[in-house]
Amino acid sequence: MTKRNPDYDFKWCPGCGDFGVLRALDKALEERCEALSEPIENTVFVAGIGCSGNIVHLQDGPQPYGIHGIHGRTLPIAYGVKAANPELNVVVAAGDGDFLSIGGEHIGPAARRNLDIVCVIMDNGIYGLTKGQASPTTQLNVITSTTPLGKLDEPENPLELYLTNGVGFIASMVSTKPKDITKAILAGIEYPGLAIIHIQSPCTTYNDTYSLLKGDVKNGIEPLAIDLPESHDSTDYDKALTIARSNKIPVGILYSKKGSQSMNQKIATQKQSTNAPQRTVDELLTTLSLK
Amino acid sequence: MTKRNPDYDFKWCPGCGDFGVLRALDKALEERCEALSEPIENTVFVAGIGCSGNIVHLQDGPQPYGIHGIHGRTLPIAYGVKAANPELNVVVAAGDGDFLSIGGEHIGPAARRNLDIVCVIMDNGIYGLTKGQASPTTQLNVITSTTPLGKLDEPENPLELYLTNGVGFIASMVSTKPKDITKAILAGIEYPGLAIIHIQSPCTTYNDTYSLLKGDVKNGIEPLAIDLPESHDSTDYDKALTIARSNKIPVGILYSKKGSQSMNQKIATQKQSTNAPQRTVDELLTTLSLK
Amino acid sequence: MSKNLIVRFAGEGGQGVVTASEGLAQAAAQVGYHVQTFSTYPSQIKGGPTLGQTRLSTSPILSAGDGLDVLVALDEYAYEYNKDELFDDGLIVYNSKEFTLDLPNAIGFDVDELARSTGNALSANMVMIGAVAGLANMPAKYFTEFITKRFDRGRDNDQAIIEANIKALSLGMKAVKDSIQALPEMDPPVSTNADRVLIKGFEAACLGALAADLDVFIGYPISPATTMLTFMQANLIGDNKHVGQASSEIESITSILGAGFAGKRSMTSTAGPGLCLMSEGIGLAWMAEVPLVVANVQRGGPSTGLPTKTEQSDLLMALNPGHGDMRTPVIAPGTVEECFYAGAHAISWAETYQGPVILLSEASLAERQQDIPRPDASNIDIAKRVVVDNKNGDTPQPRYLGEELTPFPIPGNIGAYTANGSEHDEQGDTTHLGKWHVQMTKRRFNKLKLLENDIYESENEDAEILIVPWGGSKGPAREAYDQLVADGEKVGWAYSMFVHPMPPNMIKLLLSKKLIVVPELNYMGQFASYLRTMKINAEPITQYTGLPFRKSILANNIKELISKELAGTL
Amino acid sequence: MSKNLIVRFAGEGGQGVVTASEGLAQAAAQVGYHVQTFSTYPSQIKGGPTLGQTRLSTSPILSAGDGLDVLVALDEYAYEYNKDELFDDGLIVYNSKEFTLDLPNAIGFDVDELARSTGNALSANMVMIGAVAGLANMPAKYFTEFITKRFDRGRDNDQAIIEANIKALSLGMKAVKDSIQALPEMDPPVSTNADRVLIKGFEAACLGALAADLDVFIGYPISPATTMLTFMQANLIGDNKHVGQASSEIESITSILGAGFAGKRSMTSTAGPGLCLMSEGIGLAWMAEVPLVVANVQRGGPSTGLPTKTEQSDLLMALNPGHGDMRTPVIAPGTVEECFYAGAHAISWAETYQGPVILLSEASLAERQQDIPRPDASNIDIAKRVVVDNKNGDTPQPRYLGEELTPFPIPGNIGAYTANGSEHDEQGDTTHLGKWHVQMTKRRFNKLKLLENDIYESENEDAEILIVPWGGSKGPAREAYDQLVADGEKVGWAYSMFVHPMPPNMIKLLLSKKLIVVPELNYMGQFASYLRTMKINAEPITQYTGLPFRKSILANNIKELISKELAGTL
Ligand SMILES: Cc1ncc(C[n+]2csc(CCOP(=O)(O)OP(=O)(O)O)c2C)c(N)n1
Ligand SMILES: Cc1ncc(C[n+]2csc(CCOP(=O)(O)OP(=O)(O)O)c2C)c(N)n1
Ligand code: SF4
Ligand code: SF4
Ligand SMILES: [Mg+2]
Ligand SMILES: [Mg+2]
């Protein structure tokens, strides 16, 4: 996984939002490794399928472990990694199609387990890699190759869904602010439970929303993306829900639930408290013995 | 699909909540057919896999069409039926495992399409047919064969999830009140969009929650299931969400969004407004002709 | 005197017929008989035609048996449905509260009434067992020992329960005494010093996997594989072990893939519908070379099929569960004992070749209870995967170097790479170049050679026609083979639980024969068709009733097939 | 003079090399040449090694061709990567802005610079086409006609664009004139009165399905099958028609199952990873007897594999997509023309036998553009399912009566039943009884007989060795066969797009032969192994580079295989 590999020549289109996300992520991993003097090999990067997922092959600098699997399955793969080794730092990267459409079924279970991972979601409101079909976050009436007359299905509000599924840490970001993203990723990694960094990462080729997000104040067009106020209390669920359900896209750390206990912590506590003994195969066979 | 079929001998356990649901459903279909003088063959009953799904084989009286397919796929099957023939009355029946766990991925898409169907969900907080494993609605710390030390994953709140997924009509019921269920089903059928009747239907064998639901007022145990007040305004989303997120189970019609347009209505409107012509194969071939 | 006793208890689900058969088996096994159980029931929790069957014998048992010595029928449907399987001299015990039978070989009494009269209505099983013991002239002491052991649970009312059950036993015995002609007296058990366990197929498979140091098990409930998940939930509980319930089979397979990638020995269990949902994930494990084991317990198919019935019809899918060029290693145990070794081998295989392995079991095998020699894990090579060695701090070789197996890098240690479902180069980066696809495809198939062994059975190797069963049909096929040999047929025998890769010398043997006869429980003749892809001239004998083969019918069918072959009309 | 011209445009994605090849094909086809295109590109949106190739000929074209007459290389990588495929007398046009080549058969100029000088930078394609026309001595008027037609779109600037493109063409022609030795002059097109269309494989398949009155199409995007979904979105828009995007392939398959149940002709499209996710749903359609069509466009596998490359490695899965006893009907077209008829037949088959059908296409076939005789749907029987007839109001017979096809009840009309994925009785109610499983299993397989036809090609039927390709390898295999025959080899030919059920007389023919040689694009020899299950002695010739066969290499490999067979060393 190095972009210097001559046989690996994947490129994003010029201007693709994912470039900003990559920069932010590279930086976050670098800072983390430095801060903790942890080897980069302690990080496992689980990527979805899409333009976005190719981020796993494009990282600069020392390379973490990676899994670039099948479409939509980042979360259960990450669950397995954490189940096997709670010490690993697991980062999921996926697009809106991968994470919310075909992979949407895994968000609830991951949240209810409370996997201690961070998910970096690149939402461009479109299926980029398959050349421009509608995704769950494509807005109403938008014309794509699968909605030639305009999209009819209601768009999904991912922030609201994360909240009601019980995701404990939710940041909403734009790809044009990589420094914020870096901070959010680092905070998400720290957070003892499921953290999702949901990033507006426009697709210049099939759904260019840069100007929508930024607005055009001179011409009286309000920006869609609005920074959360300094005063925002990210531990307030109701507040977070209200903001998520507004018709603006908040930028900042929307929610950070207090007192979160990750899956591995819960399991460890339960094992300790019950003290159920692990019997060896020999002991188990003895319970079945006819002797 | 008749319980008088000598080779079909499925039985629910004595006391199973699903009996009440069956009675309510039989009654609803009967009333509907009478009221509209519609043949029962206009109804398609799409059932999930579980003790609950077997309801499709147990109906009394004249028999509707049925699909008893594979685990978790009631909603997309129902989508296909409606896509093919908007005139059919489609009723989905499924359990909490079928609808919320393996089938959970289909709720969002069905809501966003706004399928004009009614779903009758029998929630017993357990996998009944496979003999008692935890389901998404199994409560914390409950011991089941897959949670021998008590369940650790946070339980799912289905009403809240339906609401935030955009389901337009939501009723919350208990199997002990079949008359209410009948009414709710009929209202759900009327509703022009996705309607879910979510029913607490206890499993006497693996997760008997009758007493929990009913409480034991004499001994100071409050009932878990509480009727919605007469005054409840079911068109108020925020109110519905607050109630859904309380720690009681409301009984009644929780939410009924105004102005709902079903998938088929939206498509018809769009087709009319755009007037795009359907070209015949011959016309299409002519566009490719080299002549 | 008789060396064999086959008893079937039949009634509705919830009446304890399966418990009765298992109680009889337990008691008989404890005094030294060989036993094997068999049961069927519909896919529902209470009610529905259910039967539990026990075969006892003074010698090791190969199948559930060819017919019934005793049928205990708790209702009329049970009688009607099962009566045709009685041997000519078989006897019937029926529940006279439900119906009456006017037959010389039938005796009725009110089972529940007798049980209640002991003061413990739950002792109805024991009444039934007593009746059987009476008919087979088995001494009461065989069972009183069992009863005493079973109910000695350190509770206050132990003694009362024990007494009621002993009473129930004697009431059952008395009820049949002198009333109808009894069966020939059962030979006493051959006392054996061998260390035996009474175990079910699924337990054996799970214990085998544990013996191979399984670390992570994640599954989704589905009959008849749920028992493996719940066994693991109860028993795989040590430090650094993990058991989880997934939200679907898609989660099961992809999560154990994550665990396998992270270096752990990982497994799931499922049945046909779940295997379908694992299709894509198994392909990923094959492509990215991640060790994992899928235990697929076959039931009647396709689709939701017959969830509680037995069948051997998932073989083609197991060999080729996904799209593209792949062929999953498959181990299909044929006996309860083999289940243990299959469980251990499956883990070892996954570790050895670094990829997915399918442990192909069957409903009737998973649920069968049998006495077997205590399994000995020290008998098998438990392989651990070759991992990147970090000792001298050198840069390790690339993950996917060359066309043969390479050491596995463990996350947390040096050797970072990408496990990639897209075609990739040596480091796992995506590539579109044909040369890598050629190299990696060869690599993935080459690794299968590491699994080749020559563990197979054969007999009468010089016969031109061999009987070659697979999986759970081994037992009845073996009985049929023995009978055919006794009848003077010139047939041979070959068998291995290693379906793919199949032992090379077994393939050679099969290739050298005129005809390979494959008894299998499916419609298509799946194993025979698999053998044919290797140019082996195989003909299936199929059955797809949801039930296992019976020796005598099978032997007849084989004879017929052989005579067709000899007559050149095949 | 030459009858054939093969041109490849190679560069990065986004530079218009595919557009150039399609423009050349369009222009040439319009003046009466036969054309066929071929392209490859990596799985990304812009950039990455990409090529578009066009073959022109005065006679119908069977394959992309065996080498290149002209290579237009836009960068050095493109040159290096493609140069080995030039014929000995092939010529190179390169982009001198990117690199230089000092070769007698190469000429360089700055493509973009020339385009810009026309005042329309977008005319670079036309510069490239002009260069090719110049080298092949093709008159400019072939292309000016095409340009005029193409850009006459009723907009203000049409004329300016037309002029710039004509200028670009002539600049390209001029740039190569006199500089290097040109190719032999291209024969003029054979003027033909036949009504031809220029069409891609996927368009042909979609139109075939529309010709068979497709009603409902629901799919999920995936390369290389997305084009079918978007074609339907644009074109299946009439009253009572429905096109939808599913949230996953699980939704695709189960929703078209719902539509098929409701009486409509329904279809989805996907590729390998999606086919995996459809596994369980296809099994349900088989079990519940619901008509539907899955178009699976093969790409490199397994897993995410090589999403944009071609392969024929999903056959085993297509034949047996799920667990349990099932064998899906499979139609695999071999040419763009056959794609049309395959699309229509797939729908008809699903309707005829009331079950799932797989239309097995391939990346290279779906994306290939070719001139073919205008398809004529009136040529084929478009079957509609037999439905329950409500006329006289009688109670209809039970849905699943007996062991043969029965009329299909349409919801909304009499004949209510349950379409059941569990084993069922005649009305579709769940049953656990073996007798129903036996009857229904037979029924499901019996219905396949309704699909048997004897539509296959054969030649030299008396040869002992036949070449029997399948799917998209038909073209190159046919060229190789023709060459072998010309070389005096004693080989015959047989082919059908009906893979399963295969034409019975074709099976007989194949069974009667010493050797069947199967050229196929996969590692395992999947079609050969399928033939072997029918006891046909088949040997595969495999290639798994992500690219189609080349005639000359294939012919050599076949010769080698034949001599091995004759020497008895196979
Ligand atoms: C099972 C399966 N279905 C479909 C695909 C095809 N596919 C690849 S990427 C993609 C969608 C990508 O959309 P998104 O996740 O939003 O990523 P983006 O390209 O927009 O970054 C699809 C449908 C696949 N690889 N696997
Ligand atoms: C793909 C698949 N996985 C698993 C199963 C096994 N299975 C049958 S029913 C069921 C769960 C039933 O739970 P629920 O939906 O709550 O229904 P209940 O029995 O409680 O009414 C499961 C896991 C299956 N049939 N198919
Ligand atoms: S298609 Fe869109 S998402 Fe994909 S690389 Fe290009 S700009 Fe980015
Ligand atoms: S197991 Fe539970 S859900 Fe199933 S029939 Fe019995 S009581 Fe009802
Ligand atoms: Mg996207
Ligand atoms: Mg349930």
Chain A within 8 Å of D418 (Cβ-Cβ)?
A: no
Residue B223 above 60 pLDDT? yes
Nearest CA to ligand 4 atom 1: B128
Q: What is the pLDDT of residues C147-160, one digit of tens each?
A: 888 888 888 888 99
User: Is residue A122 assigned to a domain?
Assistant: yes
Tokens for D350, please give them. Answer: 């699903």
Q: Are B201 and B17 in contact (CB under 8 A)?
A: yes
**Mutation test residue for ligand 1: of A96, A127, A206, A208, the one with most atoms within 8 Å of CB:** A127
pLDDT at residue B4, rounded to an integer: 44
- Which residues from chain D sit within 8 angstroms of residue C326, using beta carbons? 301-302
Residue of A nearest to C247 (CA): A109
pLDDT at residue A29, rounded to an integer: 95
Residue of D nearest to B287 (CA): D197
Indicate if ligand 4 lies below 6 Å from the C-beta of B128.
yes
Give SS3 for C330: strand
Domain boundary among D357, D379, D401: D379
Q: Are D359 and D294 in contact (CB under 8 A)?
A: yes
Nearest Cβ partner for C230 among B51, B102, B146 = B146
Residue A2 above 50 pLDDT? no
CA distance C175 to C112: 13
Crossing angle between the packed helical segments B263-274 and B74-84, to the nearest 10 degrees: 40
pLDDT at residue C182, rounded to an integer: 77
CA of A122 to the centre of ligand 3 (A): 11
How many domains are contained in chain C? 4
Residue type, C307: P
Chain D within 8 Å of B67 (Cβ-Cβ)?
A: yes
When mean pLDDT is compared across B85-94, D1-10, D93-102, D388-397, the lowest value belongs to D388-397
pLDDT at residue A9, rounded to an integer: 64
Residue A1 above 50 pLDDT? no
CA of A76 to the centre of ligand 6 (A): 23
CA distance A223 to A9: 35
User: Is residue C441 assigned to a domain?
Assistant: yes
pLDDT at residue D220, rounded to an integer: 98
User: Is residue C188 assigned to a domain?
Assistant: no
Strands A195-200, A169-174: parallel, antiparallel or unpaired by DSSP? parallel
Nearest Cβ partner for D216 among B40, B83, B285 = B83
CA of C293 to the centre of ligand 1 (A): 27
CATH number for the domain including D470?
Answer: 3.40.50.920
CA of A18 to the centre of ligand 3 (A): 8
Q: Are C302 and D321 in contact (CB under 8 A)?
A: no
How many domains are contained in chain B? 1
pLDDT band at A4 (very low <50, low <70, confident <90, very high): very low
Give SS3 for D234: helix
Give the helix/strand (H/E) hosting D560.
Answer: helix D551-566
Residue B8 above 80 pLDDT? no
The environment of the single-atom ion ligand 6, i.e. residues with CB closer than 5 A, is B 95-97, 124
Chain B within 8 Å of D28 (Cβ-Cβ)?
A: no
Work out the average pLDDT over D372-376. Answer: 94
- What are the CB-based long-range contacts (under 8 Å, 24+) for D186-193? D186/D1, D186/D2, D186/D5, D186/D56, D186/D136, D186/D137, D186/D138, D187/D1, D187/D2, D187/D3, D187/D58, D188/D58, D189/D28, D189/D31, D189/D32, D189/D33, D189/D58, D190/D32, D190/D58, D190/D59, D191/D32, D192/D32
Chain A within 8 Å of B223 (Cβ-Cβ)?
A: no
Residue D191 above 80 pLDDT? no
**Mutation test residue for ligand 2: of B51, B71, B175, the one with most atoms within 8 Å of CB:** B71
* Cα-trace Rg, chain C: 26
D540 bridge partner residues: D518
pLDDT at residue C432, rounded to an integer: 87
Q: Are residues C506 and C409 in the same domain?
A: no
Indicate if ligand 3 lies below 6 Å from the C-beta of A128.
yes
Residue D477 above 50 pLDDT? yes
Q: What is the pLDDT of residues D228-243, one digit of tens each?
A: 999 999 999 999 999 9
Indicate if ligand 2 lies below 6 Å from the C-beta of B138.
no
CA distance A145 to A148: 6
Q: What is the pLDDT of residues C459-503, one digit of tens each?
A: 999 999 999 999 999 999 999 999 999 999 999 999 999 999 999
pTM of the model: 0.97
- Which residues from chain C sit within 8 angstroms of residue A68, using beta carbons? 418-422, 428, 430
User: Is residue D197 assigned to a domain?
Assistant: no
When mean pLDDT is compared across B1-15, D179-193, D478-492, the lowest value belongs to B1-15
Q: What is the pLDDT of residues C519-550, one digit of tens each?
A: 999 999 999 999 999 999 999 999 999 999 99
User: Is residue A12 assigned to a domain?
Assistant: no
Cβ–Cβ gap A109/B153 under 8 Å: yes
Cβ–Cβ gap A274/B112 under 8 Å: no
Q: Running DSSP on this structure, what letter comes out for residue C245?
A: E
**Mean pLDDT, chain B, integer:** 94
Q: Are C498 and C508 in contact (CB under 8 A)?
A: no
Q: What is the pLDDT of residues D528-550, one digit of tens each?
A: 999 999 999 999 999 999 999 99
CATH number for the domain including A230?
Answer: 3.40.50.970
CA of D312 to the centre of ligand 6 (A): 43
Tokens for C435, please give them. Answer: 């040369």
Q: What is the pLDDT of residues D345-372, one digit of tens each?
A: 999 999 999 999 999 999 999 999 999 9
- pLDDT above 70 covers what percent of chain B? 97
pLDDT band at C568 (very low <50, low <70, confident <90, very high): confident
- Which of B 72-131 lie inside 8 A of D, CB atoms? 73, 76-85, 87-88, 105-106, 108-109, 113
Work out the average pLDDT over B267-291. Answer: 90
Residue range(s) defining the domain that contains residue D529:
457-567
- Which residues from chain D sit within 8 angstroms of residue B65, using beta carbons? 409, 411, 416-418
Q: Are residues C446 and C304 in the same domain?
A: no
Domain boundary among D144, D161, D177: D177
Work out the average pLDDT over B171-195. Answer: 98
Work out the average pLDDT over D479-487. Answer: 97
Nearest to D457 by CA among D446, D465, D441, D469: D469
Q: Are residues D345 and D248 in the same domain?
A: yes
Higher pLDDT, D379 or D478: D478
Q: Are residues D103 and D69 in the same domain?
A: yes
Q: Are residues C156 and C293 in the same domain?
A: no
Give the helix/strand (H/E) hosting D565.
Answer: helix D551-566
Indicate if ligand 3 lies below 6 Å from the C-beta of A206.
yes
Chain D within 8 Å of B247 (Cβ-Cβ)?
A: no
Residue B2 above 50 pLDDT? no
Q: What is the pLDDT of residues C387-436, one digit of tens each?
A: 998 777 678 899 999 999 999 999 999 999 999 999 999 999 999 899 99
Residue B102 above 70 pLDDT? yes
Nearest to D463 by CA among D399, D418, D513, D417: D513
- Which residues from chain D sit within 8 angstroms of residue A145, using beta carbons? 226, 230, 233
Nearest Cβ partner for A11 among D44, D273, D304 = D44
Give SS3 for D63: coil
Ligand 2 atom with the smallest distance to the CA of B122 is 21
Q: What is the pLDDT of residues C38-79, one digit of tens each?
A: 998 888 888 788 999 999 999 999 999 999 999 999 999 999
CA distance D516 to D540: 8
CATH number for the domain including C234?
Answer: 3.40.50.970
Cβ–Cβ gap B5/D427 under 8 Å: yes
Residue D193 above 70 pLDDT? no
Q: Please tell me which of C178-187, D167-176, D193-202, D342-351 the model is most confident about, judged by mean pLDDT.
A: D342-351
Chain D within 8 Å of B211 (Cβ-Cβ)?
A: no
Q: What is the pLDDT of residues C15-43, one digit of tens each?
A: 889 989 999 999 999 999 999 999 988 88
Indicate if ligand 3 lies below 6 Å from the C-beta of A124.
yes
Q: Are residues C488 and C446 in the same domain?
A: no
- Which residues from chain A sit within 8 angstroms of residue D15, using beta carbons? none
Nearest Cβ partner for A101 among D233, D248, D304 = D248
User: Is residue A8 assigned to a domain?
Assistant: no
Domain boundary among D324, D358, D379: D379
CA distance A174 to A195: 17
Work out the average pLDDT over D406-410. Answer: 97
What strands, in cross-sheet order, belong to the sheet with C49-57?
A: C106-109, C86-95, C68-73, C4-12, C49-57, C34-40, C369-373, C196-200
Higher pLDDT, C12 or A248: A248
pLDDT at residue C184, rounded to an integer: 86
Cβ–Cβ gap A51/D229 under 8 Å: no
CA distance C233 to C244: 8
Q: Are C34 and C371 in contact (CB under 8 A)?
A: yes
User: What are the phi and psi torsion angles at C165 (to 5°)?
Assistant: -70, -40
CATH number for the domain including C23?
Answer: 3.40.920.10
Residue type, C205: A
User: Is residue C25 assigned to a domain?
Assistant: yes
Q: Are residues D159 and D262 in the same domain?
A: no
Residue A184 above 80 pLDDT? yes
pLDDT at residue B3, rounded to an integer: 42
**Mutation test residue for ligand 2: of C222, C270, C277, the one with most atoms within 8 Å of CB:** C222
Give the helix/strand (H/E) hosting C200.
Answer: strand C196-200
**Mean pLDDT, chain C, integer:** 94
Q: What is the pLDDT of residues A109-154, one digit of tens each?
A: 999 999 999 999 999 999 999 999 999 999 999 999 999 999 999 9
Residue C191 above 80 pLDDT? no
CA distance C556 to C361: 26
Residue B10 above 90 pLDDT? no
User: Is residue A10 assigned to a domain?
Assistant: no
How many CA atoms lie less than 13 Å away from D42 in the CB half-sphere? 25
- Which residues from chain D sit within 8 angstroms of residue B78, using beta carbons? 258
Cβ–Cβ gap A266/B152 under 8 Å: yes
Nearest Cβ partner for C427 among A5, A46, A288 = A5
Q: Running DSSP on this structure, what letter comes out for residue B290?
A: -
User: Is residue A30 assigned to a domain?
Assistant: yes
C12 bridge partner residues: C49
Q: What is the pLDDT of residues B137-153, one digit of tens each?
A: 999 999 999 999 999 99
State ipTM.
0.97
- Which residues from chain C sit within 8 angstroms of residue B147, using beta carbons? 233, 245
Task: Chain C: give the shortest CA distance to residue A31, in Å.
Answer: 18
Residue range(s) defining the domain that contains residue A175:
18-286
